[in-house]
Amino acid sequence: MAVHPFYGPSARLASDPVSQGTGLASMAAYLAFWAIALVVAKRELDARFPRGRPTSGPEDTALAILRERFARGELDEQQFREMARVLAEEAGTP
């Protein structure tokens, strides 16, 4: 008779259909728990330690919005350059 190191004799577990179903459900719950725990941990880490270029303030946000508007075609090149120049002057960079 084979003995499972944690659960005792495995022949009884293998022959009982109720134990088989309970064992499979337990294993599925265990895997689901760790899958959910890993997803939650990844989201928390991504929220606390974002990747990419850090922003330094409202000037970066305003310039990003300006770039998006230019990319969508709401502004022509002359308007974009003028607005970007104004933002650069407000930020203190020539």
> What CA–CA distance (Å, rounded) separates 59 from 87?
7
Q: Are 29 and 11 part of one and the same domain? A: yes
For the record, the structure tokens of 43 come out as: 């989201």
Print the domain residue range for 80.
58-91
- 10 with 43, same domain: the answer is yes
- 9 forms beta bridges with 3
Amino acid in position 11: A
Whether 86 is in a domain gets the answer: yes
Which of 90, 69, 89, 88 is closest to 79 using CA atoms? 69
Q: Is residue 53 domain-resident?
A: no
**43-71 pLDDT tens trace:** 999 999 888 765 555 567 888 899 999 99
Does this model's pTM top 0.85? My answer is no
* Same domain for 68 and 31: no
Residue 28 neighbours by CB under 8 Å, 6+ apart: none
- The answer on 42 and 16 residing in a single domain is yes
Write the pLDDT tens digit of every residue in 9-43: 556 656 666 666 777 788 889 999 999 999 999 99
Say how many domains are in the chain. 2
